[in-house]
Chains A and B, each alone.
Chain A
Amino acid sequence: MDTRLDNKKKIALSAACLILFMVFVYFGDIMIRPGSSMKMLITVIEKGSIFALVAASMNLLNGFTGLFSLGQAGFMLIGAYTYAIFTIPADSHDKVYQYFNGGIIKWSIVEILESKLGLAGHYLGMLIPMLMAGLLVALIGFLIGIPVLRLKSDYLAIATLGFAEIIRAFFQWNTLGPLTNGSNVLRKYTTYKNAIFPVMIAGISIAIILLLINSTYGRAFRAIRDDEIAAEAMGINLFKHKEMSFVISSFFAGISGALLAMFQTTISATPFTTVMTYEILLIVVIGGIGSITGSVIGAFLFTAASEWWLRGLDAGKWMGISSSLMRPGFRKVVFAILIMLIVLFYSRGIMGDKEFSWDGFFAWCKSRPAAVKAWPEKRKASRAAKKEARAVKSAAKARAKQAKEEKEARKSSGEGLFTPLVLADHVVVFEKEGRNG
């Protein structure tokens, strides 16, 4: 019996799941009181969805276009600042820009639109700076891309990393203080009220990325990733497509930067270091390079583990175990070791390069009982294989040792010093094969 669903049912099922999730997030954020562990879940969903977006944008570059770029933190920084600068309320400017005479921009887009359009204006006033953030980052990505995208793999990585650092230095520059507040924090800007906001923005953005990947452009990106020369021979304009992928990725990194600014409520350039880029890259790796679903799952797991599940490791008590080893910072060590294990032994990540599909999901669920039943057998087989491999290795070692001993013995007895070398074992006769032979 074929249990595959038709497309209509699949869409309905996906929509139902998404709506349920949205409702849960919306009411969860309103009703759950702060301090409970369920509230932690909402926070994880908020932050996780922001990182899911930036991870997806990085995956578009690294996983789908094969461009190893490490500039994501810098792009997020520009996005965060652009959003914050344009939404600080007019009467807070003097407090925020206290060292720069209230800054040069004395108005906030949110306030202007709110006074004209009411509540709709409030949300529009949040969306427009966010879009501006994305577009500005896209423009900067475009400009950076022109020189940088001509470079090959590692050089590209280092050059983008370098640009991210330049951006960070630029935003901390005192001369730009009236705009960026120098090395002081920006605060008091408009933020969202409910966790549904970042979830929805991130969801829509990721959906757009998915649509892009499944379009002709997406196929061109993948062709470039798999073989640049072959792709060029097929008529794909390498530079144009690389630039396109880079600009789109920068745009969404900018949007996620704006969301991060809202999530954190204060923003400064200091935390947007290479470490942040590394973390985003590790999310992509955990989820699977070349899988957007994987990036989303990876982002939620990463945030949940670092913000929630492993918190106890810092506090000294975790899952009933308490130890003097557990003091602040221990969580990150355990976490880094876990990531190293994934990178070394499970390098395909959670999803590999596959995307989520309902067919795949049901098939997976169905195969579970059989898989669980087959597990002991499988384990036994793998153990036996390992044992055999070990036996072969030790036998080879023993043989090598024996040969060495024989050689030594021959040498010490003087025998074999003048005997001709026997090559017969090593001579392989190559017979001519082919039509002419």
Chain B
Amino acid sequence: MDTSGSRQASRTYYLRKNIIMGLLHTWLPYILAGIAVGGQYALIAIGYTMVYGILRLINFAHGDVFMWSGLIMVYLVTVLPLWLSVILVIAFAIVLGTTIERVAYRPLRTAPRMSIMISAIGVSYLLQNFALYITGGLTKTYPSISWLQKTVKIGSATTKMVTLITPVLTIVLVFILVMLIKHTKIGMAMRAVSRDFETSSLMGIDINRVITVTFIIGCALASIGSILYFSNYTGINPMSGAMPGLKAFVAAVFGGIGSVPGAVVGAFVIGICENLIKGAGWTTFSDAFTFVLLIIILMVKPTGLFGEKNLDKV
């Protein structure tokens, strides 16, 4: 009686273990891919969340800066060694981002919020069209970085090196960024400006400098993200920045806009869920899911996971 009971228990234990292992076996590749994509979204999302935190502006052009750094990489690698082109790509993204801020956003600083948003949309339209002109509308092959493309085996799943590198690199970069925001003078200025734009300018903070630094950080991270992202996808066209950009923005909203750790958590959630949906055979809706998530979070908790409550004053 007793022995059969324990045998029963051990049987169910093994059965459960088998089911779990089986599930893991099927889903592990998707979870790994999701973590990788999530890390890449996180790197873009930081740019969105920081700019929104300070300027209260959805920088629609951010996704296109991301796409452009991918394109520039394609062209640079043909003439320069890899390490140099990586550095130049990051530099290019920074220059592009700060130029956009200087030319398209700064003159409208005192204008109503709608017109600065329209300006952002205009910049996005310009960048996409310019890319369309340069590439002739063709999909370009992203250079394969052999070190990132190496295959590795984790448990039952084989995957590329980039899948492993991305989350680690993301977390390291985010850690550095959080330290920067918490413990340096410019970080303190950033926090002050995002709390209250006008008061902090009265306190002697150089707002323009803070905004420029924000754009520099955002664009640098986006260009690093682009290297990782396109290494996974190989093809790049003028429209390939739009979707990741929107998803990263949703990630920023999900985590609570203005909060860097929130954006990272949101990006990982979106990346993993998206890939699980793909794994379930609903690929058509993997993009739509992001927006469903956005709408749910805006309904349930409009300030996001880590966002601060903002009261409207009359």
Question: Which positions in A face B, CB cutoff 8 Å?
Answer: 62, 68, 147-148, 150-151, 153-155, 157-159, 161-163, 165-166, 169-170, 172-174, 229, 273-275, 278-279, 281-282, 285, 289, 327-330, 332-333, 335-337, 339-340, 343-344, 347
Contact = CB atoms under 8 A, between A and B. Distances in A.
Given A153-B114, A279-B125, 15 more contacts: A154-B117, A273-B242, A274-B246, A278-B121, A281-B121, A328-B137, A329-B136, A333-B129, A333-B130, A336-B129, A339-B126, A340-B123, A343-B118, A344-B103, A347-B115
Interface of B: 52, 56, 58, 103-104, 107-108, 111, 113-115, 117-119, 121-126, 128-130, 132-134, 136-137, 239, 242, 246, 249-250, 253, 284-285, 287-288, 290-292, 294-295, 298-299, 302, 314
A162 B294 contact: yes
Contact of B126 (A147, A289, A337): A337
Nearest to B313: A229
Could you tell me the dominant secondary structure of chain B's interface residues? helix
A159 B115 contact: no
B137 to A, nearest CB: 7
Nearest to A342: B122
Contact of A332 (B115, B122, B129, B253): B129
B124 to A, nearest CB: 7
A166 B291 contact: yes
Contacts of A343: 115, 118-119, 122
Given A281-B118, A336-B122, A340-B104, A158 B133 contact: no
A324 B108 CA distance: 35
A229 B136 contact: no
B298 A151 contact: yes
B127 to A, nearest CB: 8
Given A147-B295, A165-B291, A336 B253 contact: no
B284 A174 contact: yes
A162 B250 contact: yes
Nearest to A151: B298
Given A333-B133, A344-B104, A278 B246 contact: no
Contacts of B250: 158, 162
B118 to A, nearest CB: 6
Contacts of B124: 278
Given A163-B291, A344-B108, A336 B130 contact: yes
Most chain B beta-carbon contacts within 10 A, residue among A68, A154, A289:
A154
Contacts of A173: 284-285
Contacts, number: 127
Contacts of B114: 62, 68, 153, 289
Contacts of A151: 298, 302
A279 B128 CA distance: 12
Contacts of B292: 162, 166
B111 A153 contact: no
Given A289-B114, A337-B126, A340-B123, A155 B132 contact: no
Contacts of A147: 295, 298-299
Contact of B119 (A289, A335, A344): A344
Nearest to A163: B291
B121 A330 contact: no
A159 B294 contact: yes
B49 to A, nearest CB: 13
Contacts of B129: 329, 332-333, 335-336
12 contacts: A62-B114, A147-B298, A154-B58, A162-B250, A163-B291, A166-B288, A173-B285, A289-B114, A329-B137, A336-B130, A340-B119, A347-B108
Contacts of A339: 122, 125-126
A278 B118 CA distance: 9
A249 to B, nearest CB: 16
